[in-house]
A and B are shown apart, each in its own frame.
Chain A
Amino acid sequence: NAGVTQTPKFQVLKTGQSMTLQCAQDMNHNSMYWYRQDPGMGLRLIYYSASEGTTDKGEVPNGYNVSRLNKREFSLRLESAAPSQTSVYFCASSEALERYYEQYFGPGTRLTVT
């Protein structure tokens, strides 16, 4: 099993460009999440999807959109990238939303917006 995979690993964008970060999991998990990691701030939740067909905002959703394409895939879209979105983005999944379910993380996408 690959677990949680993310593409691309690295990306450089110019301000105003758009892009989609892809995430897939092969663990048959119901819930998926997108986080961003910034120095000194830990991880912050952008959006989550409790189950296929549902998505909800997390702590820092502004400037992002998501799509839960099917049970396996959960994408994050930046419509008009800004330098403040320079970060490392992690996708995660868990069996369900209940708080005792462990979250499994992908390797991350390092995004730079110039």
Chain B
Amino acid sequence: AQSVTQPDIHITVSEGASLELRCNYSYGATPYLFWYVQSPGQGLQLLLKYFSGDTLVQGIKGFEAEFKRSQSSFNLRKPSVHWSDAAEYFCAVGLLLFSGGYNKLIFGAGTRLAVHP
């Protein structure tokens, strides 16, 4: 069955430190991959997405992610974290449920990021 795993439930980093959030997926075909961020009390906002091509994708707010097919991973990175990055981050895989192209998103359980000053 298709699944998305975010191994880290909580991560705490110091402001200015680098960040890497892990995401692994289980899916037989090439997936469409997304990272969303959810600030407290807010809906989800798309940070970046990977469909094909260059495996290193750039997103908003200085985030990037790298697709590694051999590891079934799509880890999110940021070189220098800001206090405003404290939020919950969700990795998601877009699947085809049938030939019509249904845009089903399977979400990971999320990683909550805390940023220390």
Residues from chain B with Cβ under 8 Å of A65 in the complex: none
Chain B interface, DSSP helix/strand/loop, else mixed: strand
B94, A100: Cβ atoms closer than 8 Å:
yes
B46, A99: Cβ atoms closer than 8 Å:
no
B90, A97: Cβ atoms closer than 8 Å:
no
Chain B, interface residues (CB within 8 Å), range: 20 to 34
Most chain A CB neighbours (cut-off 10 Å) among B45, B90, B102: B102
B103, A42: Cβ atoms closer than 8 Å:
no
A58 to B102, CA, bound (A): 11
A18 → B minimal CB distance (Å): 25
B4, B32, B41, B110: the one within 8 Å of A100 (CB): B32
Residues from chain A with Cβ under 8 Å of B108 in the complex: 42
The answer, yes or no, to whether B96 is at the interface (CB within 8 Å) is yes
The answer, yes or no, to whether A105 is at the interface (CB within 8 Å) is yes
Most chain A CB neighbours (cut-off 10 Å) among B41, B43, B46, B100: B43
A99, B101: Cβ atoms closer than 8 Å:
yes
Q: How many residues of A contact B (CB 8 A)?
A: 26
A50 to B103, CA, bound (A): 9
The answer, yes or no, to whether A75 is at the interface (CB within 8 Å) is no
A102, B43: Cβ atoms closer than 8 Å:
no
B109, A99: Cβ atoms closer than 8 Å:
no
Interface residues of B in 78-100 (CB under 8 A from A): 90, 92, 94-96, 100
Interface residues of B in 35-94 (CB under 8 A from A): 36, 41-46, 49, 51, 90, 92, 94
B102, A107: Cβ atoms closer than 8 Å:
no
B7 → A minimal CB distance (Å): 13
Q: List 7 A-B contacts (CB under 8 A).
A: A42-B92, A90-B44, A94-B103, A99-B103, A102-B46, A103-B46, A108-B43
- Listed in ascending order, the chain B residues whose CB lies under 8 Å from chain A are 4, 9, 32, 34, 36, 41-46, 49, 51, 90, 92, 94-96, 100-110
- Listed in ascending order, the chain A residues whose CB lies under 8 Å from chain B are 4, 31, 40-45, 50, 58, 90, 92, 94, 96-108
